Amino acid sequence: MATTADIRNGMAMELEGQLYYVVEFQHVKPGKGGAFVRTKLKGVKSGNVIERTFRSGEGITEVRLEKYTMQYLYNDGEMFHLMDTQSYEQVALPEPMFHEIKGYLTENLALTVLKHDELVLGVEVPLFVTLKVSSSAPGARGDTATNVTKPATLETGMEVQVPLFINEGDAIKVDTRTGKYLERVSA
């Protein structure tokens, strides 16, 4: 049994019979009264975000998640197909599990799959992915020193803002936490 001192972002816990991820937490020590921990928790199955306050030192039930590396293969419209990189076993997961990350998925991308008691709870993409620009307005010569951006559509259909010097066919690195352009990658 863990306590509120063990709470950290990304931690999984059981609360009222449901599994939750800690999205955000804050230890608060008011001038009067006891300390407490304010949290935002995301339901693993429902996806709903709730706010919950715990008294300092209160016991919580931490859930250990197993992490597996799996390779993204393809999606057929309803299911996303992954392959375990160790056993070569293929798994099909429903589309809602990929709703927030499908703009980063390219064939053969290594993903982290989180399991609890053989039940898949979530899928995580790497922090940075390299994607090709499929369409963008042409860049102008000498536009490398300004902070002006333009929209670019990537190979996955996702749209990001890129500097003016990025052209169609360029490979760029994108931060999956923010969805923003980081740098151009040489091929």
Neighbours of 110 (CB within 10 A): 11
Cα three-residue angle 77-44-86, rounded to 5 degrees: 65
Instruction: Compute the Cα dihedral for 153, 156, 161, 162 and give only its sign.
Output: negative
> Quick one: CA torsion of 63, 68, 73, 76, rounded to 10 degrees?
-20
Domains observed in the chain: 2-63 (2.30.30.30), 66-124 (2.40.50.140), 128-185 (2.40.50.140)
**Cβ proximity of 124 and 110 under 8 Å:** no
Task: Quote the DSSP letter at residue 148.
Answer: -
Taking 3-state DSSP, the helix, strand and coil percentages for the chain, each rounded to the nearest 5, stand at 5, 55, 40
Coil, strand or helix at 4: helix
Q: Please give the chain's pLDDT, 187 residues, in tens.
A: 788 888 888 788 988 888 888 888 999 998 888 899 999 998 877 778 899 999 988 889 988 888 889 999 999 988 999 999 889 999 999 888 888 888 999 999 999 888 888 778 788 899 999 999 999 887 666 656 667 888 999 999 999 999 888 889 999 999 998 899 999 998 6
List C-alpha distances in Å: 85 to 36, 104, 109, 113. Answer: 43, 19, 11, 11
Burial of 156 (0-12, 13-18, 19+ CB in 10 A): middle
